[in-house]
Amino acid sequence: MSDPTPAQPVPPGGLTCGIDVGGTKIAGAVVDVDGTVVDEHRVVSPANDADAVEDAIAQLVKELAARHDLTAVGIGAAGYVDAGRRTVMFAPNIAWRDEDLASEIEARVALPVVVENDANAAAWGEFTFGAASDVDDMLMVTVGTGVGGGIVSGGRLFRGAFGTAAEIGHLRVVRGGRQCGCGNLGCLEQYASGSALVKETRALAHEPAAAALLERAGGDPAAIDGPMITHAAAEGDAFAIAQVAELGRWLGEAIASLVEVLDPGAIVIGGGVSESGDLLLEPVREAFLSQLTGRGHRPVAEIRTASLGNQAGVIGAADLARR
């Protein structure tokens, strides 16, 4: 479907504000027409209280608007966003159900607001200004608290008939598998997300191979978090490397299936876990190639690391608000 226009006209130039609402943080940035971040700020996300999240978003926008002349706000939200880019219909990890987020924020900040799925926003940022700017068709996979996806097809953000396309984190990969925040069992993000990485590592923390990592955590498995695991892996901890690699294999196999449907020109991996670099990307690539049908007899899309890093979502959301 075609991309809907904002509710109010927005000048093509000038500054817009991008907001990335995650399960643990809310990041905001002021972005110019070239995709350059000129100011930014972030706050903790009160994910279990919808009103508190909206208040935090509004306060973040107001702080940035006090320093810059903003023309519009784009919000990247982790959930299912309607075709009109206004309502978060369902958010697995945030307390939103049929929430007219655009109207709520517009009432607080007196600026036009566009809402988009956070991974879609990141995909648009990487397509327009980042790692996929040289292709017309791309798949974005974001690996953070959950697993998100974004698709650009023929140079346009693909949102589907109802605005909810590319929710790849909720592909069922294990029948009767782990309980997901969305209510279903066996979703990909229960095996290939930062949350899954932490949960699995904590479960194995008392194995002899995990001794060094457990020592980092002061002997308490509950103190192990994502950055601790990825930092340990980067410093050569074999156990941590193995945990990151297992996550990568889940992702690579899922991407191979998605490529059969989408045939993208490039696959971009973003999100916090992607900061592990080749410790994650190499297992992803190996699993992808091992499962790709017709390998050796077809073009193979390159798997790339997101070049905009954690700013992809705010840059993409701000640009979508401008458009």
Domains of the chain: residue spans and CATH: 15-125+311-322 (3.30.420.40), 135-306 (3.30.420.40)
Q: Token match 């890093």: residue? A: 309
At 11 the pLDDT is: 52
At 24 the pLDDT is: 74
- Residue 155: φ, ψ to 5°: 80, 5
What angle do helix axes 194-203 and 226-234 make, rounded to 10 degrees?
80
Question: Per the structure block, which two tokens stand in for 10?
Answer: 């927005």
pLDDT per residue of the chain (323 residues) written in tens, 0 to 9: 444 434 444 555 689 999 999 767 899 999 999 999 999 999 888 867 889 999 999 999 999 999 999 999 999 998 899 999 999 999 876 778 999 999 999 999 999 999 999 999 999 999 999 999 999 999 999 998 889 999 999 999 999 999 999 999 999 999 999 999 888 999 999 999 999 999 999 999 999 999 999 999 999 999 999 999 999 999 999 999 999 999 999 999 999 999 999 999 999 999 888 888 999 999 999 999 999 999 889 999 999 999 998 899 999 999 999 98
Give the distance from CA 41 to its chain's centroid: 18
Query: Which residues does 305 contact at the CB level (< 8 Å), separation at least 6?
Result: 131, 268, 269, 270, 274, 277, 281
DSSP, collapsed to helix, strand or coil, labels residue 206 as coil
Amino acid at 126: E
* Predicted TM-score (pTM) of this structure: 0.89
